Amino acid sequence: MPKATKEDRIIRQIIKKYGNRLDLKAEPHVFLEIVRKYALDLSGLEASPDGGLPPGGVGPVGPTSHQVGPSVEDLMKEILKLQRQLARLAEKLGQ
């Protein structure tokens, strides 16, 4: 006999508790009770122990003060040095 799936086990539990047929006109709250009780089991998501959302999402941002590589200030200093060198070369060539 094949092993019953999770869905089969849940269906058997619902039939055992509420019977073979549901009269939603007479007792509409039964449907909502079933959805609330079994929705998480059928969705395949893990329930978190505190009742909140399951863990996930984006982690915290790392420190930005320890960046690797040159900073904007370093680049500006080098650009200014190059500008001065070009100005001196242009002066020498212009003579």
For the full predicted model, state whether its pTM sits above 0.85. no
**Nearest-angstrom CA–CA distance, 94 and 89:** 8
Q: Exposure pattern of 27-52 as b/e (b: 16+ CB <10 Å)?
A: eeebeeebeeeeeeeeeeeeeeeeee
**Nearest-angstrom CA–CA distance, 19 and 4:** 20
pLDDT single digits (tens) 23-61: 889 998 999 999 888 887 777 666 555 566 666 777 777
Determine the length of the chain.
95
More confident residue, 75 or 95: 75
**Domain limits, the chain:** 6-46+70-94
pLDDT at residue 87 in the model? 94
**Nearest-angstrom CA–CA distance, 11 and 13:** 5
pLDDT single digits (tens) 17-28: 988 898 889 998
pLDDT at residue 89 in the model? 94
